[in-house]
């Protein structure tokens, strides 16, 4: 789990208190104190866009990562808060008009679905292609796009600590089962991997697998230590938790168990790669973010 990340001026290792995870969605936009002084037009645009595309941000991101003196140009603000340009003009105007008229919730939801359907939520036939089979049965929540790599979408990890405004997997978060890729079947995943010895890499993705409890992650990953999975050399975990909720690796109730799981996999000869999805250096400037990286690398 070594990496090239270094913090030459890092503060000494310190104790961190457990922090309560508090999240806001489109239904709580008016509860986010930090945005209430923004122009009314900006708040209206947020409301309109969040009616179509999923919005979710947590208190840590709001209070620790965003420089509110630089809004709207702050990069983390732009990363998580809805902006008018996220929708085509005609889609925005259609939804904005419904809000101006005080339309019923069901009418807004119906229009939002039509707009989302027009956005090509799963391009390049992703719901039809690359879907592997086991004993003649299609495996939900699994993709075999590349010869050596299998992607796995655990159902417990199909959300994120906050949502990115550019997210191309927004279809995972809008509550439409027909659009969502997810699986709870560890046994079928393992059965497929056991039969396909050409696969060397398992990429656990989402959403964000790090929203899962460690006990859920264990049921998917620990069986890979058995001899029949010796061909699985690399376990990759795609996550933005190091940005959006680094407490996951430090003070969450099962953070120690998570680090122990990583160590157990590494000690058994697996290469564990945390695919940290960084967009801006500002994301790793907090003490808790540095501590999370230190614990993973230790």
Rounded mean pLDDT of 217-233?
Answer: 97
Rounded mean pLDDT of 54-66?
Answer: 97
Rounded to whole angstroms, how far apart are CA atoms 298 and 288? Answer: 15
Share the mean pLDDT of the chain.
Answer: 89
With a cut of 50, say whether residue 8 has pLDDT above it: no
Rounded mean pLDDT of 271-297?
Answer: 96
Element (H, E) at 98: helix 89-100
Strand 149-152 with 142-146, pairing: antiparallel
DSSP state of 122: S
Which domains are present in the chain?
23-117 (no CATH), 123-297 (3.20.20.70)
Rounded mean pLDDT of 237-244?
Answer: 97
| Residue of 62 and 155 predicted with greater confidence | 62
Q: Crossing angle, helix 186-195 and helix 214-221, to 10 degrees?
A: 30
> What pLDDT, on a 0 to 100 scale, did the predictor assign at position 231?
98
Helix (H, G, I), strand (E, B) or coil at 168: coil
* Residue 163: Cβ within 10 Å count: 26
pLDDT > 90 in the chain, percent: 74
Rounded mean pLDDT of 263-292?
Answer: 96
Q: What is the pLDDT of residues 84-136, one digit of tens each?
A: 999 999 999 999 999 999 999 999 999 999 998 888 766 555 556 677 888 88
> What pLDDT, on a 0 to 100 scale, did the predictor assign at position 208?
93
Long-range contacts (CB closer than 8 Å, 24 or more residues apart) made by 211-215: 211/156, 211/157, 211/159, 211/160, 211/161, 211/241, 212/154, 212/156, 212/157, 213/156, 213/254, 214/254, 214/257, 214/258, 214/261, 215/254, 215/257
With a cut of 70, say whether residue 194 has pLDDT above it: yes
With a cut of 50, say whether residue 181 has pLDDT above it: no
Rounded mean pLDDT of 210-232?
Answer: 96
Rounded to whole angstroms, how far apart are CA atoms 74 and 116? Answer: 27
With a cut of 80, say whether residue 44 has pLDDT above it: yes
With a cut of 50, say whether residue 4 has pLDDT above it: no
């Amino acid at each position: 789990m070594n990496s090239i990340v270094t913090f030459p001026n890092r503060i000494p290792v310190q104790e961190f208190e457990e922090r309560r995870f508090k999240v806001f969605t489109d239904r709580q936009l008016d509860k986010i104190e930090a945005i209430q002084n923004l122009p009314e037009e900006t708040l209206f645009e947020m409301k309109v866009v969040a009616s179509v595309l999923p919005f979710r941000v947590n208190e840590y991101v709001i209070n620790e990562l965003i420089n509110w003196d630089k809004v709207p140009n702050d990069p983390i603000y732009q990363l998580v808060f809805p902006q008018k340009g996220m929708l085509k003009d005609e889609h925005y105007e259609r939804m904005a008009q419904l809000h101006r008229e005080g339309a019923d919730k069901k009418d807004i939801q119906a229009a939002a679905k039509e707009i989302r359907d027009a956005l090509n939520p799963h391009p390049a036939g992703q719901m039809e292609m690359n879907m592997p089979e086991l004993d003649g049965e299609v495996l939900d929540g699994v993709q075999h796009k590349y010869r050596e790599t299998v992607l796995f979408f655990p159902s417990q990890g199909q959300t994120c600590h906050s949502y990115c405004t550019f997210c191309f997997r927004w279809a995972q978060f809008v509550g439409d089962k027909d659009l969502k890729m997810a699986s709870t079947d560890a046994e079928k995943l393992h059965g497929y991997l056991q039969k396909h010895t050409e696969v060397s890499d398992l990429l656990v993705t989402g959403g964000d697998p790090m929203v899962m409890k460690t006990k859920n992650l264990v049921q998917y990953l620990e069986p890979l230590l058995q001899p029949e999975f010796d061909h699985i050399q690399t376990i990759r975990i795609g996550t933005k938790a190091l940005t959006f909720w680094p407490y996951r690796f430090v003070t969450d109730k099962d953070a120690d168990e998570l680090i122990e799981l990583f160590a157990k996999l590494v000690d058994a000869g697996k290469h564990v790669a945390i695919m940290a999805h960084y967009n801006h250096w500002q994301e790793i400037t907090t003490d808790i973010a540095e501590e999370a990286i230190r614990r993973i690398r230790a």
